Structure formats: structure tokens, C-alpha cells
Structure 1
Amino acid sequence: MAPCSESQLRSASSSIRASASNSQLFVSYLFSSPSPNRILGISENTNALFLHPRSCMTTIEIKGALWRTYSDLSRNHTLQMAAALSYYFVLSLFPSLIFLSAVVAYLPVPDLFNQSLLLMSHFLPADAMGLVRRVLADVITPNRGAFLSLGILGTLWTASGGFAATIEALNIAYEVHDDRPFWKTRPLAIGLALVTGLLLLTALSVMVVGPRFGEWLAARVHLSALFVLLWPYIHWTIAIGFTVLAVEALYYLAPNVKQRFLATLPGAILAVGCWIGLSYLLGLYFRHFANFNKTYGTLGAAVALMTWLYWTAFAMLVGAELNSELAKITKKGKLQEKQQASSITRIDLAA
């Protein structure tokens, strides 16, 4: 066999180096991802919880997001923000209820407003609910027919003040700067007041009308007794679903970030769950352990109402903090996808 020439040796050496470089790039790409299955877009973790643009969020990522959410409660001064929001909520609560009562008066459901107040009493402290009833009775009863006039515009403007403060609080939770001008954020706050108000009104209507509607539907369509037995759970689930949808709309529209509507669902579920749980615990506390009337006198009802609004704001901000952390994971995943795609392109070009 004839010996190789010097040029052939150089050519063979270059080919070996190029092959080694390609192999190194591929191995680097392969192990830069937590799992080789990511190359095929397959998640090997069967405990994946939320759909994610790159594949699925793993259990480890979800646990990390929950832990960082807990840490952010202190870092972002969430308790202080909830206290500030409760003040704005007090100023906006009664105008919001007045506006909704004016709308309810024109719905074809008998005594819907009073039944809605009765339903709200399951969530509000008894003293606070008494205050709400007295104020609404004084304001609405003499002027019910005049509310859907020019005066309702002023009521809606006042009600939107709480949503304007919510926009600022959610921007802090999402850790973004809001550079939108006032002439954009204030109409947005009014729109949020309308959208969330109508969704919550729908939820209240479902809870109020639900029992009778289930009986009517079962008799009309000749449904089984099992449907009648399960209907109370079904209509409560529907009502909670509309409440979650209202919080989702708030998370999607209020902060100055671009996100998918479905991406706000985890935080909305957490917020509504926390709100229901905290409202129940507060109700137990006020009924059995606290008597604000003895401590604060005539201000007891107002203090009880502000306490409930404070924890309502806290629950909403906790959900926003969770969505913020999940959004960071999404952003990091997209960046990894771009880096991996760039590595594949380099391999193709080198080949």
C-alpha cells in the first residue's frame, strides 16, 4: 500500500476535526436540556401540570414557582399593597353595588337584588353585611329609577377608582413598569369595572336562580333523579367558574404585560380558592371570637368590612404573584428553545 501524501493527511485531519466539532455541538445541545426527550418535544415527566409553549411545566418547576411566590409576598410588600387596595375598595364598593343594583332592576328575575345580598351574606361578616344593606337601602330605594341616567356615569367613574389602583398593584406583582398614559389606563379601569362586574353578576345570578332552574330543567327534559341530586354541585361549579373568569380578565387586561389568556388561569384559581377559604375563616372568627362593636363602637361594621376587603385584595395579589412566576418560567423556556434552535442551525451549517 502506497504511503499517504502530506495533502491527504491534512485533508483527513480537517475532516476529523470538523466531525469532532459537530459531535461536540450536538452533545452540548443534547445535554443543555433537562431531558433528551425535549429534542422530540416529549415530556418524560408524567406529573406535568400546566400546558406550556415549549412542552409542559414539570412538577419541580411548579414547586419552584410556588416557593418563589411565597418569597415574593415579602419582597413585593404584598400585605402593604393589600392594605392600600382595601382603602380604594371601600371607596369603590358602594358605587359598584349601586351600579349593579341599577342593572339588576332591569333583569327578568324577581327579587334578584335582595337574593344576591342574601347570598353575599355568606361571604361578608355579619356586621359588614348590615352596613352594606343600610347604605344601599338609603341610596337606592328613593332613587332606583334615576340611576340609569347621567348620574350612573359618575357612579361608574367612582367605582373604577378601585380598579385603577388594582392596575398599579398588579404591575408591581408582575414586576413591570407601566408607561401607559392616564387616558389609556382610566378607560381601561372603567372597562374592567364593567367586565368583571357583569361576570360577577352572572355568577350571582347562577347561584340565585340555579336551584329553581335545575328543578325546571329536570321536569322539562325528564332528567333522572341523579341529575337533581348533582345539580347543586353543578350550579355552584358554574358560578365559581364565572368568578374565576372575572379574575382571569383582571389578570389578563390590567398589568402592562403580554400574555396568553389561558396563562392567567392558575393564578385565578388560586386567588378564588384563597378568597373563599379566607372569607369562610373570617366568618368563623367574627361570629365566635371577635366583637368589633365592643372595641370600635359604631365603627365596628366599617372595620369588619375593611378587614374582609383587605384579605380579598391579598388573595387577588397572591394569584398575580403566582402568574408572574409562571410567566418567568415561560419566558425562560422560550429563550432555551431559541438557543437550542440556534445550536441545531450551527450543526447543520457546519455539516
Structure 2
Amino acid sequence: LNRVFGLRETRPWWRRQLLAIGVTLLIAAMIVVALSLLLVGPILGPWVERHHRVGSAVEIAWSVGRWLGAAAMMALVWATLYKLLPDHDLPWRVFAPGAAVGVVLWVSVSQGAAYVMTHLANFEATYGALAGALAVLFWMWLSNLTLVIGAELSQVANE
């Protein structure tokens, strides 16, 4: 990301390592929250409706809100990566366009990759037991590509 923003790394090695560990833990926690909204949401919404006698409008709002909440959490993940990883001190608002586009691209790429892997590609015939690992690596590569595209957009919008 330093290259995207045209920066030279000036932080010492130990600080970069501590930052990498801290960002990894922070991002993991944020992703757990986002996935919890998506995975637990379909169970929690009907349960709340049954036990607290709320209307169907609340269930619809919950259905939409959990997706928006997960998207907002992922946009925050992207913006956090753009803010903390490069060696700069730019305000958070600089990263909003790139984070928003990055998340939309990431969701699109993830859905597209899932479709290709389940319907079009026959990885198991070619790679055997390694098919799952290669599919995950392919998805991670695409995810990183969306991260860089979002960073490039933030840089262009900042100029």
C-alpha cells in the first residue's frame, strides 16, 4: 500500500511487526462481527419475532440491517487497512471512497468466485486433495486485488 500512496517506508522493523500483529487481531475481530451478523442473523431475527411479538416489519428491517451492518463493518475493515498499513498520516475521510468501492468489489468477486468454483470449475479433477487450498488461495488473491483497487481509488480521489 505504500507504493499505491507513493510513500517510502520509514518505520523500524519491530514497529512494522507489532503493527502487523495488531492489525491482524483487529481485522479478525471485525470480520468475526461481520460474519456473525450474516450467519446468526437468519436465526436471531425469527427468534426475536417469536419471543418478543414484534411485527414482520422488524424482521424485514433486521434482514436488511444485518446486511448493511456487515457491509459497513467490512468497509471499516478496508478503511482501517488503508489508514494503518501505509506509512502516512492522512485523515479517515480520504479512505471512504476506496473502502466503499473495495467492499462492493470484494463482495462481487467473492460471489463470482464462489459461483465459478461450484458451478463451472472442476478443481478436484485437476488438483485432487489440494483443490480446497487452491480455491482459498485464488479467493485470497482476488480479495487482495480488490484491496489494492480500492486503495488506488482512494489515492486518485485524494489528489
TM-score under structure 2 normalisation?
Answer: 0.90
1:268 aligns with 2:102: no
Q: Any residues of structure 2 matched to 1:156-235 within 5 Å, and which?
A: 170-218=1-49, 222-235=53-66
Q: CA deviation at 1:229?
A: 2.6
The runs of 5 or more residues in structure 1 that have no matched partner are 1-169, 329-351
CA distance in 2, matches of 1:241, 1:270: 12
1:304 aligns with 2:100: no
CA distance in 1, matches of 2:51, 2:128: 53
Residue 111 (structure 2) aligns with: 280
Q: Secondary structure at the match of 1:173?
A: coil
Q: Any residues of structure 2 matched to 1:332-343 within 5 Å, and which?
A: none
Which of 309, 312, 316 lines up with 2:147 in the alignment?
Answer: 316
CA distance in 1, matches of 2:103, 2:48: 29
CA distance in 2, matches of 1:294, 1:220: 48
Q: CA deviation at 1:230?
A: 3.2
CA distance in 1, matches of 2:52, 2:93: 34
1:32-65 deviation digits (Å, cap 9, x = unpaired): xxxxxxxxxxxxxxxxxxxxxxxxxxxxxxxxxx
Q: CA deviation at 1:194?
A: 1.2
Q: CA deviation at 1:306?
A: 1.4
CA distance in 2, matches of 1:272, 1:225: 29
CA distance 1:193–1:222, change in 2 (3 Å): same
Q: CA deviation at 1:258?
A: 1.6
Q: CA deviation at 1:312?
A: 0.7
Identical amino acids, percent of aligned pairs: 30
CA distance in 1, matches of 2:20, 2:113: 29
Q: Secondary structure at the match of 2:2?
A: helix
CA distance in 2, matches of 1:283, 1:172: 30
1:250 aligns with 2:63: no
CA distance in 2, matches of 1:259, 1:220: 47
1:240 aligns with 2:71: yes
CA distance in 1, matches of 2:148, 2:65: 28
Q: CA deviation at 1:216?
A: 4.4
CA distance in 1, matches of 2:133, 2:45: 37
TM-score under structure 1 normalisation?
Answer: 0.43
The runs of 5 or more residues in structure 2 that have no matched partner are none
Q: Whose RCO is larger (CA < 8 A, sep 6+)?
A: 2
CA distance in 1, matches of 2:49, 2:130: 48
Q: CA deviation at 1:217?
A: 4.0
Residue 90 (structure 2) aligns with: 259
Q: CA deviation at 1:313?
A: 0.6
Q: CA RMSD in A?
A: 1.8
1:130-188 deviation digits (Å, cap 9, x = unpaired): xxxxxxxxxxxxxxxxxxxxxxxxxxxxxxxxxxxxxxxx1111121111110211111
Q: Any residues of structure 2 matched to 1:1-351 within 5 Å, and which?
A: 170-218=1-49, 222-328=53-159
Residue 16 (structure 1) aligns with: none
CA distance in 2, matches of 1:201, 1:308: 18
1:299-330 deviation digits (Å, cap 9, x = unpaired): 322222211111011011100111111121xx
293-302 or 283-292: which moved more? 293-302
CA distance in 1, matches of 2:158, 2:103: 19
Q: Secondary structure at the match of 1:172?
A: coil
Work out which of the two has the higher radius of gyration on C-alpha atoms and give 1 or 2: 1
Contact 1:196 1:247 in 2 (8 A): no
CA distance in 1, matches of 2:114, 2:122: 12
CA distance in 2, matches of 1:263, 1:234: 26
Aligned length: 159
Q: Secondary structure at the match of 2:3?
A: helix
